[in-house]
Amino acid sequence: MSLDSTTKAEFPVPAGVFAETVTEVKHYTDRLFKFRITRPASFRFRSGEFVMIGLPNAEKPVFRAYSIASPNWDEEIEFYSIKVPGGPLTEHLQKIREGDTILMRKKPTGTLVNDALLPGKRLWMFSTGTGIAPFASLIRDPETYEKFDEVILTHTCREQGELDYGKELVAALRSDPLVGEMAQNLRHYCTLTREDYPFTGRITDLMASGKVFDDLGLSPISPETDRGMICGSMAMLQDTKAALEGFGLEEGANNKPATFVVERAFVD
């Protein structure tokens, strides 16, 4: 079997790994796609966590960390992925089709979870590109709305088509029977950096200028009321973390909840 084949598991499934079936694939742009797989009955995770996934196309498959984009009550598992030209996993992953097999390690983990934050009034989720994935999970989890009065999801991308996954998700959420009513407290703030759009610019610059707060009609971030979660590229994480620290927020972890948490969008 060639490395290009992404169909059935012809190699033995490694220990500690589930072999699951692709149920849906949707391509958004030439760089972005989502896919859904069956959920093993014994697989438990907290909304916002990530898991290692791979393809059954080699004796020692390449695994990469992927945020789970579906909430923990969902019957399937959803992922949102970039296509990296020549990327050891995504080069093959982008060709998957319904019925193909995906390998998923059994242990999820991560810091972008409600447990790692102290109680607060407003929750800010800052994302760029595929960094929206863990928030796609969290905004569909009722616990998020039980813990915070207001939830603000910011999503910054280069071009318009890259916002579609998030927009589709939020639109569906508004009429969802389980979380739709609670999700009325969700604000979705989209900005673009390389095309004209109603809101433009990096979220870090929009926080520094105060424009994001003006646009949303909200007071600036304060450690008394606000909590933050950050997911994007390494540079975005660093700059957004510095911005939140500038507002007086402190980074937390599972064993030491505080006022913001950080995670990277894991891509190869």
Binding stretches for ligand A2P (CB under 6 A): 128-129, 156-158, 193-194, 202-204, 232-233, 235-236, 239
Measured from the CB atom, is 7 or 233 closer to ligand A2P?
A: 233
Measured from the CB atom, is 71 or 232 closer to ligand A2P?
A: 232
Measured from the CB atom, is 143 or 162 closer to ligand A2P?
A: 162
Least distance (Å) from ligand A2P to the CB of residue 39? 29
Least distance (Å) from ligand A2P to the CB of residue 45? 25
Least distance (Å) from ligand A2P to the CB of residue 202? 4
Measured from the CB atom, is 17 or 133 closer to ligand A2P?
A: 133
Least distance (Å) from ligand A2P to the CB of residue 160? 11
Measured from the CB atom, is 116 or 192 closer to ligand A2P?
A: 192
Least distance (Å) from ligand A2P to the CB of residue 267? 9
Task: Name the token pair of 125.
Answer: 């989720």
Least distance (Å) from ligand A2P to the CB of residue 128? 3
Measured from the CB atom, is 158 or 187 closer to ligand A2P?
A: 158
Map the chain to HEC letters.
CCCCCCCCCCCCCCCCEEEEEEEEEEECCCCEEEEEEECCCCCCCCCCCEEEEECCCCCCCCCEEEECCCCCCCCEEEEEEECCCCCCCHHHHCCCCCCCEEEEECCCECCCCHHHECCCCEEEEEEEHHHHHHHHHHCCCHHHHHHCCEEEEEEEECCHHHHHHHHHHHHHHHCCCCCCCHHHHEEEEEEECCCCCCCECCHHHHHHHCHHHHHHCCCCCCCCCEEEEEEECHHHHHHHHHHHHHCCCCECECCECECEEEEECCCC
Determine the residue type at 168: E
